[in-house]
Amino acid sequence: MNFTRGTLAVAALAGAASLALAPVATASTIYQINPTPLIGTVYANNLVTLGALVTPTPASGDGTSPVLLEITEPDGDVNTRTIPLTFGLGTVATRTHEAGRYTAVFTFDPPNGTPAEATMEFDVVPSPFSGSS
């Protein structure tokens, strides 16, 4: 077979165009969760605001995925909350029922990336306002 330079050039351009238009294989995004630290003393029988920052900022299908928060109380009770994200940041208020150590587990399970998890522990002291008079 005998190919001319024009035929080879057309074949090369067609190959280059098919490679340029082929879907790009992308690696899944690896997310990290950074729980926001609590400020000040946390008292029993009060509301506390817990927050999470997901980085990189979730986009497209991942942007609507909330963070799941499981709070384990000192007596072993587990409360579950969801934290909706706005630009990768979200907060939720929850009540601390008793004094002791609480464990909060934050989980982000996006549809298009690698799931992330972070754990935070915080201590709650007895409320100075909840005594009998």
Shortest CA distance to 48 belongs to which of 65, 71, 27?
71
36: confidence class by pLDDT, cuts 50, 70, 90:
very high
Dump pLDDT digits (tens) for 67-86: 999 999 999 999 999 999 99
HSE, side-chain direction, 13 A CA sphere, residue 80: 4
Tell whether omega for the bond before 56 is within 30 degrees of 0, i.e. cis: yes
pLDDT over 60 (residue 15): no
Reported pTM? 0.75
Predicted confidence at residue 29, as pLDDT, reads 86
- Taking the C-alpha atoms of residue 117 and residue 88, their distance in angstroms, rounded to an integer, is 14
Q: What length is written for the chain?
A: 133
Q: Across the chain, what does the average pLDDT equal?
A: 83
Predicted confidence at residue 3, as pLDDT, reads 52
Q: Find out if CATH 3.40.109.10 is the number for domain 29-124.
A: no
